Amino acid sequence: MNVTFSEQERAFRDEVRAFFRDKFPADIKDKQDRGIPLERDDFIRFQKCLHEQGWAGVNWPVEYGGTGWTPVQKYIFMTEMAEANAPEIIPFGLSMVGPVIYTFGNEEQKQRFLPDILASNVWWCQGYSEPGSGSDLASLKTRADLAGDHYVVNGTKTWTTLGQHADWIFLLARTSTDVARKQEGISFLLADMKTPGITVKPIITIEGSHEVNEVHFENVEVPVENLVGEEGKGWTYGKVLLQHERTNIAGVARSKFRLKKLKEQARLPVHGAEPLANDLHFMRKVAAVGVELRALEYTELRTLAAVRSGKAPGPESSILKIKGTEIQQALDALFMEAAGYYALPYVPGQFVPGYRQDSWVGHGDEAKTALKYFNYRKASIYGGSNEIQKNIISKHVLGL
């Protein structure tokens, strides 16, 4: 996709490039470039750099501290951030609960929560999925019973990403069972993770990392003032949040960066063998992914334009989520194919600062290619499984 930038947009692009060249913390960049997992403090420091620049609230309205950027400026920013191999912004505060609060919250909640979300002073996590409620989220069982000036919450949330780092959690809980539809009677609550009765238990994923958790609520008291919007309307608010989440999951700019790296790797000879770029069958698959990725950019720009006009992302967020994650997984598979048998070994030392790059197995960092491949099998499930997204598209676009 060729976007013709105006003089002002080119100046903005140069400003963004200069920021990532001069203000991107060198130690975080080194970790990113070498594939060393970032710590909680690394993410916070990076996001605080964005906040100091005035660039934290990419999609936020100006009145709440947002950038006020045009869709093209957002496109430029995301592209340059990916090109710099900067960390992805942790979405739970800035991209998920923040928009719900400034859209549906009262003035007191906006003043209380939004500044700290924007400045990354508070780390949020999401309490949606449950052991028996994933794609069918409306069947959730976590209860919030009103008792005077607070709700008493009991239940379990699962697949809570980075919940071990969180200060606060936003969650959906059932406040009424006397409803005609299961989507009714669900409320949107904000809870301090230090509240007595909240327990976080790690879930170790297939590649051995602690990324997700189970969060247990046992007689947890949540003040009534932490109810967002109206009681029983949480399903409506949660859908808006999920539309923002699915748009972010698409990861178009990040996939463009990975596709470029894959092509660079394919041009390199490995131990005297011909480079993969000479394998027309492999390059045909690379080209097919590239075509789909370019097409997806059009949908992303249309979605950004809708958000710019004050709308929440619509059914197109489901299209972005489906195709974005399919492309991510296709790239994972191509990286595995390019690595060949060098993808097999697991070398724990490669993730430790100070590990020598020239001691890696194979050509570059293939030894962790398989770890990423297995971890990102989840991409087509989280944020609402791709099968569910197809149902949403059928209903809201095709009218079926």
For the ranges 39-43, 260-264, 366-370, 374-378, which has the lowest average pLDDT?
366-370
252 touches 296 (CB < 8 A): yes
- Of residues 70 and 172, the one with the higher pLDDT is 172
159 touches 231 (CB < 8 A): no
Q: How far is CA 274 from CA 229, 271, 279, 299, in A?
A: 61, 9, 9, 37
**Percent of the chain surpassing pLDDT 90:** 57
* pLDDT tens digits along 84-94: 999 999 999 99
Q: What is the predicted pLDDT for the residue at 288?
A: 96
At 313, give phi and psi (nearest 5°): -55, 140
Q: Which residue(s) pair with 201 in the sheet?
A: 214
pLDDT averaged over the chain? 87
Question: What structural domains does the chain harbor?
Answer: 7-89 (no CATH), 124-231 (2.40.110.10), 250-396 (1.20.140.10)
